[in-house]
Structure 1
């Protein structure tokens, strides 16, 4: 079997990264610089790394983040009640294995969404399936899904996420459909998966926003008692950005 046939067969087996490296090694006459075991390991490691990188890229795309937020770019110099040690512990993602939640509250512009998405990005890098969503848009989508019969399918998709991020939670009072949907999501994920909730509204006011005492109690009991809490304070970070611009 000649080299071209080998490369084509590697491609046919969807081992394109291995095929490309093998081609380059042949072209540069570097194959003989390795033992057989070393060369096999080189090709295998290259294919493995390529697949892992592709998986991460796919997870980042599917997460549907609204901005690229990373742990490395978090600003700890601002006075906004963000404990660096605590947040970096969360970034280890141990809360996922413990099935714990995170609640991030604070006024508009203090960086709540960025922090949540940075944790979500970290999750993708560690190959955890993550979904970022605006709460109001998600609830509208679920309301429509009840009409076309895909509601349970949509709930199943949300349950598969290792990290589910609700952004702008509670900006609007919940109607019956919204309450039931939130209850279904939280109940499905309780003690199974981790949820991050981002809100301008303090947790103490969530009971009234959710409405209907029994459901509100059930939702809050499942979310709050198993959550790490971050309450950001201070002025909007966007103000400083506008001034710099």
Structure 2
């Protein structure tokens, strides 16, 4: 058997991790005490893990997170009303399986975005498609898509995404066009996928924020009343860091 031809065939089939390990085993005389079954299993596991890792990296990159948020870096000691048991239950992504939503509220700088993105990163690691947007920028993107004739395509992409994160909801004015976009997004995702909304605006103020009564009622009915809630308290983390320097 020509081992080098085998390596080349693996590479042409894009089994690069398997090819690299097989090549090392030949040139460095490794794994000679392995049975054929054990060696084949190791090659396949190596290729599988490499592809899974590449898929995760791709999902994280496509999600568009603004920061590298890891659940291992969450500070549960800070006095902001974040219950560790509750949040770790959310990190299990059971709410994602049930197509439920999550609303994270709190003042500026208390960690809403980080918590939302840490769940998003976890979702990517479990191979769930995820998209992260600053809400105002998302509305601008949707308005541009309407002008370019790609709005339907954007909404369908949003619909198929398993987890949508809308950050800084309500900081920019919601005009009629933005309200229509929000209604389209919420309607398409209702009971078919999960949405996380992070905002400084208390949920009690959303009706007036959204504006037009019928649309506000429809949006609130679909996303608020059956959602999980995290209501953060306390001062801004960023302000505390600035004062400590």
Q: How much has 1:3 moved relative to structure 2?
A: 1.1
Contact 1:25 1:31 survives alignment (8 Å): yes
Q: CA RMSD in A?
A: 0.9
Corresponding residue number in structure 1 for 2:129: 129
* 2:51 is the alignment partner of 1:51: yes
Partner-residue secondary structure (3-state), 2:131 = strand
Alpha-carbon shift at residue 29 of structure 1 (Å): 0.8
1:190 touches 1:222 (CA, 8 Å); kept in 2? yes
Distance in 2, Cα, partners of 1:23 & 1:62:
32
Distance 1:191 1:73 in 2: 31
Deviations 1:4-47 (A, max 9, x none): 10100000001000000001111221242211111110100000
**Stretches of structure 1 lacking an aligned partner (at least 5 in a row):** none
- Is the CA contact 1:135–1:168 (under 8 Å) kept in the aligned structure 2? yes
Q: 1:144, 1:238 → 2: CA distance?
A: 33
Q: Which residue of 2 aligns with 1:198?
A: 198
After TM superposition, the structure 1 = structure 2 runs for residues 20-169 of structure 1, keeping only pairs within 5 Å, are 20-169=20-169
Work out the CA distance in 2 between the residues paired with 1:21 and 1:243. Answer: 52
How far off is 1:171 after superposition? 1.0
Preserved contact between residue 101 and residue 195 of structure 1 (Cα < 8 Å): yes
> Partner of 1:80: helix, strand, or coil?
coil
TM normalised by structure 2 equals 0.98
Q: Are 1:9 and 2:23 counterparts?
A: no
In the aligned structure 1, how far is the partner of 2:57 from the partner of 2:216? 37
Q: Please state how far the C-alpha of 1:105 moved relative to its aligned partner.
A: 0.5
Aligned to 2:176: 176
Q: Does the alignment pair 1:219 with 2:208?
A: no
Aligned to 2:238: 238
Offset, 1:244: 4.1
Q: Is the 8 A contact 1:80 1:110 kept in 2?
A: yes
Q: Give the superposition deviation at 1:144.
A: 1.3
Instruction: Give unpaired runs (5+ residues) of structure 2.
Output: none
Q: Distance in 1 between matches of 2:204 and 2:60?
A: 33
Distance 2:206 2:16 in 1: 51
Deviations 1:182-229 (A, max 9, x none): 000000000000000011000111111111100000000001112101
TM-score, normalising length: structure 1: 0.98
Q: Distance in 2 between matches of 1:158 and 1:151?
A: 11
CA deviations on 1:88-119 (whole Å, 9 max, x unpaired) are 00000000111100000011000000000000
